[in-house]
């Protein structure tokens, strides 16, 4: 629950590619990095490394604080990450011109691009 509570405090902060400062702007993996560090946990910097180094979990096994990954580019690789907060929702930094927000995993955009999930908490 601490991971979720921390992630929720970032809602509304602007997206910035390469951003990893909670005081100004964050990208998707920077958000994960900041939230986890504020809770005393270390994760790699990039979404691809975060996926590769976490404990893989199935989508139907998701727990609060787990990371959800998406392939949003044409190369078919991990390119986006969010923090699962329960009830089919995740918090993420969606992209340029947007702010950190909560979305549903079941929306067609994210469902179609879902790549996998992992945990650093169990």
Catalytic residues: 28, 80, 92
Cα–Cα distance measured from residue 21 to residue 72, given in angstroms and rounded to the nearest whole number: 23
Q: How many CA atoms lie within 13 A of 10 on its CB side?
A: 36
């Amino acid at each position: 629950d601490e991971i979720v509570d921390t992630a929720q405090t970032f809602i509304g902060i602007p997206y910035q590619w390469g951003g990893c400062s909670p005081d100004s702007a964050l990208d998707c993996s920077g958000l994960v990095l900041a939230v986890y560090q504020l809770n005393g946990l270390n994760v790699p910097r990039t979404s691809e490394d975060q996926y590769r180094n976490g404990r893989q979990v199935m989508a139907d096994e998701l727990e609060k604080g787990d990371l959800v990954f998406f392939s949003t580019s044409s190369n078919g690789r991990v390119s986006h990450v969010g923090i699962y907060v329960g009830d089919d929702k995740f918090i993420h930094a969606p992209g340029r011109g947007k702010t950190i927000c909560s979305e549903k995993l079941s929306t067609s955009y994210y469902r179609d691009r879902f790549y996998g999930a992992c945990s650093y908490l169990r």
